[in-house]
Structure 1
Amino acid sequence: MNKGLIAIMTLLGVGVLLAPSCTTIVPAGHVGAVYDKLEHGVQDEVLTEGFHIKSPFEKVKDFPISIETIYMSKDDREGSEDDESINIACKDGSVNADLTFSYRYEADKVPDLQRKYRGRDGNEIVDTVLRGQLRTWVSEVTKNYTTIEVYMDKREEVNSKLVDYFNKRGEKYGIRFENVSLAEARVTKEVQLAMEKRQKISQELEQQKMNLKKAEIAKEEEKLKQERALIKAQGERKANEEKAKGLTETVLKEKAIEKWDGKLPQSTNGGTLLIK
Structure 2
Amino acid sequence: MEKETKQETQDKQEKPKRNKKKIAIIAVLVIIAGAFCATSLDRVGQGEVGVVYTMRSGVQDKTLSPGYHFIAPWATVKHYPVAQQQLVLSDNPEDYHGDESADWHVDAPANGGMVKLNMTVNYNFIPDRVTDLYEKFNGMDGDQIVDTMVQNSIIAYIKEVTPQFSVMDIYSDKRSEVSKTITEYLNAKLTEEYGINISSALIIDVQLDEALQEKVKAKEQAKQDAEKAELDKQTAIAQGEADKARAEAAAAVTITNAKAEAEANKIISDSITDNLIRMTEAEARKKHGWVTVKGADTVVADATKGQ
Q: TM-score range by the shorter chain?
A: 0.7 to 0.9
The aligned runs of 1:154-173 (5 Å cut-off) are: 154-172=174-192, 173=194
**Could you tell me which of 84, 88, 92 is aligned with 2:108?**
88
Instruction: Between 101-110 and 8-17, report the one with greater CA deviation.
Output: 8-17
SS of 1:56's partner is coil
Cα 1:201/1:4, change in 2 over 3 Å: same
Question: Shift of residue 8 of structure 1?
Answer: 5.5
- 8 Å CA contact 2:122, 2:198 repeated in 1: yes
Question: Shift of residue 242 of structure 1?
Answer: 2.8
Aligned partner letter, 1:73: S
Question: Shift of residue 254 of structure 1?
Answer: 5.3
- 8 Å CA contact 1:138, 1:162 repeated in 2: yes
Looking at structure 1, the residues matched to 205 and 219 of structure 2 have their Cα atoms a distance apart, in angstroms, of 21
Question: Shift of residue 87 of structure 1?
Answer: 1.5
The corresponding residue for 1:19 is 37
Looking at structure 2, the residues matched to 13 and 189 of structure 1 have their Cα atoms a distance apart, in angstroms, of 67
Aligned partner letter, 1:127: D
Cα 1:254/1:102, change in 2 over 3 Å: farther
The corresponding residue for 1:221 is 242
Looking at structure 2, the residues matched to 211 and 186 of structure 1 have their Cα atoms a distance apart, in angstroms, of 34
Q: Identity across aligned pairs (percent)?
A: 25
The corresponding residue for 1:130 is 150
Residue 54 (str. 1) matches residue 71 (str. 2): yes
Looking at structure 1, the residues matched to 256 and 201 of structure 2 have their Cα atoms a distance apart, in angstroms, of 70
Looking at structure 1, the residues matched to 198 and 80 of structure 2 have their Cα atoms a distance apart, in angstroms, of 15
**Could you tell me which of 263, 269, 273 is aligned with 2:286?**
263
Report the count of equivalent residues. Answer: 265
Cα 1:184/1:221, change in 2 over 3 Å: same
The corresponding residue for 2:209 is 188
Looking at structure 2, the residues matched to 110 and 191 of structure 1 have their Cα atoms a distance apart, in angstroms, of 44
Instruction: Between 158-167 and 205-214, report the one with greater CA deviation.
Output: 205-214
**Could you tell me which of 39, 47, 67 is aligned with 1:29?**
47
SS of 2:168's partner is helix
Instruction: Between 81-90 and 231-240, report the one with greater CA deviation.
Output: 81-90
Aligned partner letter, 1:194: K
Q: Deviations over 1:209-255 (max 9, x none)?
A: 12212211221111011111011112112222332342354456659
Question: Shift of residue 96 of structure 1?
Answer: 2.1
Q: Deviations over 1:167-210 (max 9, x none)?
A: 11111211111111232222222211111111121122122112
Structure 1: gaps of 5 or more residues: 271-276
Looking at structure 2, the residues matched to 51 and 257 of structure 1 have their Cα atoms a distance apart, in angstroms, of 128
SS of 2:107's partner is strand
Residue 231 (str. 1) matches residue 252 (str. 2): yes
**Could you tell me which of 109, 114, 128 is aligned with 1:108?**
128
TM-score normalised over the length of structure 2: 0.77
TM-score normalised over the length of structure 1: 0.85
Aligned partner letter, 2:89: M
Instruction: Between 240-249 and 186-195, report the one with greater CA deviation.
Output: 240-249
Structure 2: gaps of 5 or more residues: 1-18, 94-100, 291-301
By percentage of residues, which structure has more helix? 2
Looking at structure 2, the residues matched to 219 and 256 of structure 1 have their Cα atoms a distance apart, in angstroms, of 58
Looking at structure 2, the residues matched to 11 and 238 of structure 1 have their Cα atoms a distance apart, in angstroms, of 125
Looking at structure 2, the residues matched to 155 and 115 of structure 1 have their Cα atoms a distance apart, in angstroms, of 39
Residue 71 (str. 1) matches residue 123 (str. 2): no
The corresponding residue for 1:146 is 166
- 8 Å CA contact 1:30, 1:65 repeated in 2: yes
Give the root-mean-square deviation of aligned CA atoms: 2.8
- 8 Å CA contact 2:113, 2:212 repeated in 1: no
Looking at structure 2, the residues matched to 205 and 41 of structure 1 have their Cα atoms a distance apart, in angstroms, of 69
Looking at structure 2, the residues matched to 269 and 82 of structure 1 have their Cα atoms a distance apart, in angstroms, of 124
Which protein shows a greater Rg? 2
Aligned partner letter, 1:60: V
Cα 1:263/1:89, change in 2 over 3 Å: same
- 8 Å CA contact 1:68, 1:104 repeated in 2: yes
Looking at structure 2, the residues matched to 96 and 14 of structure 1 have their Cα atoms a distance apart, in angstroms, of 56
Q: Deviations over 1:74-101 (max 9, x none)?
A: 259xxxx942222112233322222311
Looking at structure 2, the residues matched to 104 and 33 of structure 1 have their Cα atoms a distance apart, in angstroms, of 16
